[in-house]
Structure 1
Amino acid sequence: MSLTDRADELWESERRLTAIGRTSLSVPARQAIVDQQIRPNSSVLDYGCGRGGDVRALREVTSNVEGWDPHYLPDGNRRLSDVVLLTYVLNVIEDPDERCRTLLRAWELTKETLVVATRLVWEKSKLKGTGFRDGVLTSRRTFQHLFSAGELRSYVEDATGVRCVSAAPGIVYAFKRDEARLSYLARRIAPSAIWLTSDDAASAIASVVDYTERRGRVPRVEEMPTQMAELLAHLNTAELQRIVRVSADPEKVAEGAKRSTLTTLLFLGVELFNGRGPFGCLPLFVQLDVRAFFSSYKEACMRSDRLLLKLRDDAYVRGAMNGAKVGKITPTALYVHRRAIDHMPVVLRLYEHCASLAAGRPQEWTLAKLRHQGRGVSWLDYPEFDTDPHPRLRSSYMVDLTTLKTSHMSYEPSQNRPLLHRKHEFLHPADPDVPKYRRLTDSELRAGLYANPHLIGTEQGWEAELVRCGRQLRGHRLIKRN
């Protein structure tokens, strides 16, 4: 037996060492619940469940959960299920052919959504071992193939033959039906309508009026909550529309129509980026928006296609950034807080969404950085943005839309982390925290703290300037240093 054969034999028997004992849901399982892929009535199979932590935790969400693992649960029920979890399995399989067979077997057992998660290349520094084949043979005699975010998405697409979506870095969804994929995209871009509580016919009509003002069109009965539709059952469609038109504010309706038109264009642009389906596959509310705000589906698609093409135009993108009423623009990029992201021009929202679908938007982020020199989006995490007057950068995750390559940087080990100034510039002007942040900036300017901008971008440089100017911070107030 060769040395390679002996190593393969050891790997086959030691994969169990990669299984983690969990006391709470894994990140991919939690993401699937947040994204409404796993619902209370879903059947779920955790294929390669390891010690079964996710299986036990998911039974708090839905009782119909099964797990299978070749070592820990070989007698588990590998049955056809609505959702199949294939989490942190592919990366421990050293044989590329077996890796692909495992993915295809999980896909065969999927009725609706396959959730695939793997470890990513930026975790290489955490592994101790030597390179072998397309991965690392670790010091614990296990194997790890680390994927890039773009590689994982392409790998699952090539194997399953369907368009996939990156839900987060290292987490990919593959959908059996195009309708399910488009519904997921619609929820990411245009969250479900919020209806006012209705206890009687009068409050139900008020709720419909509110929806009409926000959406720009009267809702159809099939869009309404069941209870509301029952309260309005005594009115035919024409009567309801007449009452709503009389009661609704025309200016609010016009503003709602404009907002819905842009949201529809955004959705169709993202849909084209991710693979456009037929009109009948679109979620109902998108179909109704298309009929209400465009002459035809063809016209809506043509307009969204032009919008997507504008992402290639440097001058147009730079103009949109300069004209945006939110965010801080620098010589290379626009920085926008997540609370203000939906206030960006629609072409910039499309820019950010395309990057998130290509390689996943991280769960924890504070600012989005959109480059206007080249095409790339970074999500920056400042966890204490609201409480720290000059929050420190914890991590950044970048997607290059030209190459779909990703990179991740953690600043937690650093003793001299980057920090933020002028926090109000990253927010929408109407944000309630803007006045407080602006007052702090003004007082720092008067104190001369921004006289040396090349020094203040890091913790140590900023502290040195505070000492030089005889100042210190107490919350969001600048006071004289004792």
Structure 2
Amino acid sequence: MQQAWNSDRRLTAISRASLSVPARQAVVDRQVSPVRSVLDYGCGRGDDVRALQQLDCQVVGWDPFFRPDAGLEPADVVLLTYVLNVIEDPQERRKTLERAWNLAGTVLVASARLTWEKSKVKGETFGDGLLTSRQTFQHLFRASELRNYVEEVTGVRAVSAAPGVVYAFKDETARLSYLAQRVVPDAQWLASEDTTSAIAAVVDHFERRGRTPRMEEMPRPMAELLGHMRPNELSRLVRDSADPAKVEEGAKRSTLNTLLFLAVELFNGRSPFSSLPLSVQLDVRSFFSSYAEACKRSDRLLLKVRDDAYVRGAMNASIVGKLTPTALYVHQRAMDRMPTILRLYEHCASIAAGRPRVWTMAKLRHQGRAVSWLDYPDFDTDPHPRILSSYQVDLKTLEASHTSYAGSTNRPLLHRKHEFLAPEDPDAEKYRRLTDAEVKAGLYENPHLIGTENGWEAELTRCGRQLRGHRLVRRPPS
């Protein structure tokens, strides 16, 4: 029988010079903002508290060791940052999550270290985790385990915001607003200073969205500028000024975006129409005969994600991305140009296990559903960028894995960069000229040799060439 033991948890509280990854993600996702109260439950040394105060957030930090006398009052947002993984008693771990959830008025942001960090944690097996040499405890979660655990304890459907970061919302409307924010881009409004420019902004929105906006959707200053106009008068002016072809294209785009949102929502559980964000409700009313019809079409779309032939056909038809015998690779800047079924494929993986905060390229397998987000930090500056890391989600098991290439001396690298981008991308032509020069120089005659740093450098030497930025030049004699 294992001997009872209590860890020295204060030793796990590290000092940070900037926001932690979960707090930063919550700020980026607009879950933490100056208009919401925040409680950092188990705040450690309080670095996130100080950083959020610098962002004008109403934040209070509580910690059983460092800030035991701080008030434990409910807040709109509760941050539970890397707390669950340091509690060695499963019952206490569960009670801690329950207390944090009970204190959250709008959303709980729960985060924990994941199993891929095991190489960084040295220790002996103890209970369901590891006892380290510093007498601290670590339970490393699988990505799906953390999400399932939060759902089990809170009783609500949770969303993976990033690897190891889970959001649990108190209200379905808040959860759906967050999903809509991730899936359907927010409306971009042109600046308006008077009635004429405000009408022009509404015309622009009409052309991009395919429907006239309601007053409640407009920025407040714009709504005030147009408040004196009758709705019918504004609608007539907008329709007379808009380009019908652009409106038609906008309607098609909004229809597909609505189907995409509803399919992602079904992947995470369907809600009543009244819970949907206002903009989505209006899109449903504008582009479908009923909510039931929209749901049926989105259901069919989700089922097609499982169809190998359909997915492969969509990849073949995609105007963006590089298709290989195993997967389609698409740059982040071109993701919105993929067919809707492929956008859904990627979104389902991100909702299940979180999309990493930093990534360059998505890899979608066309046999056996899996999505990887690949990080090439020097993609824009290096003619043949080296991979730094890969985060993969298996959609059959919802398990995630992470691979780091930081210590590798012979990393994989990319060729033909223009193929990963949309044709109209401003950098595509420059990359295409480099590829043409490399083909002409014979550098791609042995494709099996050039996939890694060493092999590529050897081929450059063989062909007597070297790179200066994105130009291929002759190598000077030795």
State the TM-score, normalizing by the size of structure 2: 0.98
Alpha carbons 2:33, 2:57 under 8 Å: kept: no
Q: Is 2:364 aligned against 1:365?
A: no
Q: Is 2:140 aligned against 1:146?
A: yes
Q: Is 2:434 aligned against 1:440?
A: yes
Count of residues in Structure 1 that have an aligned counterpart in Structure 2: 476
Distance in 2, matches of 1:40 and 1:147, equals 31
Alpha carbons 1:84, 1:106 under 8 Å: kept: yes
**1:474 equivalent in structure 2:** 468
Q: Alpha-carbon deviations, 1:233-265, whole Å to 9, x = none? A: 221111111111111010000000000000000
**1:385 equivalent in structure 2:** 379
In the alignment, which of 186, 190, 196 is matched to residue 190 of structure 2?
196
Deviation at 1:3, TM superposition (A): 6.8
In the alignment, which of 223, 226, 229 is matched to residue 220 of structure 2?
226
Give the match's secondary structure for 1:403.
coil
Deviation at 1:231, TM superposition (A): 1.3
Distance in 2, matches of 1:161 and 1:3, equals 32
In the alignment, which of 66, 82, 90 is matched to residue 88 of structure 1?
82
Q: How does 1:277-292 map to 2 (within 5 A)?
A: 277-292=271-286
Distance in 2, matches of 1:341 and 1:43, equals 34
State the TM-score, normalizing by the size of structure 1: 0.98
Distance in 1, matches of 2:58 and 2:439, equals 60
**2:126 equivalent in structure 1:** 132
Deviation at 1:62, TM superposition (A): 3.5
Alpha carbons 2:413, 2:451 under 8 Å: kept: yes
Distance in 2, matches of 1:65 and 1:47, equals 11
Alpha carbons 2:38, 2:57 under 8 Å: kept: no
Distance in 2, matches of 1:201 and 1:3, equals 75
In the alignment, which of 306, 309, 315 is matched to residue 312 of structure 1?
306
Distance in 2, matches of 1:37 and 1:342, equals 24
Q: How does 1:8-23 map to 2 (within 5 A)?
A: 8-9=5-6, 11=7, 14-23=8-17
| Range moving further from structure 2, 127-136 or 348-357 | 127-136
**2:296 equivalent in structure 1:** 302
Distance in 2, matches of 1:64 and 1:425, equals 46
| Range moving further from structure 2, 266-275 or 21-30 | 21-30
Deviation at 1:191, TM superposition (A): 2.3
Q: Is 2:269 aligned against 1:275?
A: yes
Distance in 2, matches of 1:344 and 1:239, equals 38
Q: Is 2:336 aligned against 1:342?
A: yes
Distance in 2, matches of 1:232 and 1:336, equals 42
- Assess, with a 3 A threshold, how the Cα gap between structure 1 residues 309 and 63 changes in structure 2: closer, same or farther: closer
| Range moving further from structure 2, 25-34 or 229-238 | 229-238
Give the match's secondary structure for 1:113.
strand
In the alignment, which of 199, 206, 211 is matched to residue 212 of structure 1?
206
Distance in 1, matches of 2:67 and 2:239, equals 61
How many percent of aligned residue pairs carry the same amino acid? 71
In the alignment, which of 41, 52, 57 is matched to residue 35 of structure 2?
41
Q: Is 2:3 aligned against 1:4?
A: yes
Q: Is 2:392 aligned against 1:398?
A: yes
**2:321 equivalent in structure 1:** 327
Code of the aligned partner of 2:213 = P
**2:47 equivalent in structure 1:** 53
- Assess, with a 3 A threshold, how the Cα gap between structure 1 residues 63 and 38 changes in structure 2: closer, same or farther: closer
Distance in 1, matches of 2:11 and 2:2, equals 21
| Range moving further from structure 2, 232-241 or 258-267 | 232-241
Give the match's secondary structure for 1:336.
strand
Distance in 1, matches of 2:118 and 2:57, equals 37
RMSD (CA atoms):
0.9
Deviation at 1:63, TM superposition (A): 4.5
Give the match's secondary structure for 2:316.
helix
Distance in 1, matches of 2:407 and 2:443, equals 27
Alpha carbons 2:115, 2:140 under 8 Å: kept: yes
**1:159 equivalent in structure 2:** 153
- Assess, with a 3 A threshold, how the Cα gap between structure 1 residues 63 and 215 changes in structure 2: closer, same or farther: closer
Code of the aligned partner of 2:340 = V
Distance in 1, matches of 2:2 and 2:436, equals 69
Deviation at 1:23, TM superposition (A): 2.4
Alpha carbons 1:41, 1:62 under 8 Å: kept: no
Give the match's secondary structure for 2:3.
helix
Code of the aligned partner of 2:141 = F
**2:102 equivalent in structure 1:** 108
Code of the aligned partner of 1:427 = L
Distance in 2, matches of 1:429 and 1:204, equals 33
Distance in 1, matches of 2:2 and 2:170, equals 42
In the alignment, which of 432, 449, 454 is matched to residue 443 of structure 2?
449
- Assess, with a 3 A threshold, how the Cα gap between structure 1 residues 313 and 377 changes in structure 2: closer, same or farther: same
**2:457 equivalent in structure 1:** 463
Give the match's secondary structure for 1:124.
helix
**1:413 equivalent in structure 2:** 407
Give the match's secondary structure for 2:201.
helix
Q: Alpha-carbon deviations, 1:295-314, whole Å to 9, x = none? A: 00000000000000001111
Distance in 2, matches of 1:174 and 1:230, equals 35
Alpha carbons 1:46, 1:67 under 8 Å: kept: yes
Tell me which stretches of 4 or more aligned residues in structure 1 moved more than 4 Å. Answer: none
Alpha carbons 1:42, 1:62 under 8 Å: kept: no
Distance in 2, matches of 1:111 and 1:234, equals 37
In the alignment, which of 356, 376, 397 is matched to residue 370 of structure 2?
376
Deviation at 1:64, TM superposition (A): 2.1
Give the match's secondary structure for 1:235.
coil
Code of the aligned partner of 2:298 = S
- Assess, with a 3 A threshold, how the Cα gap between structure 1 residues 418 and 102 changes in structure 2: closer, same or farther: same
Alpha carbons 2:259, 2:297 under 8 Å: kept: yes
Code of the aligned partner of 2:129 = G
Code of the aligned partner of 1:286 = V
Q: Alpha-carbon deviations, 1:343-364, whole Å to 9, x = none? A: 0000000000000000000011
Distance in 1, matches of 2:318 and 2:360, equals 19
**1:97 equivalent in structure 2:** 91
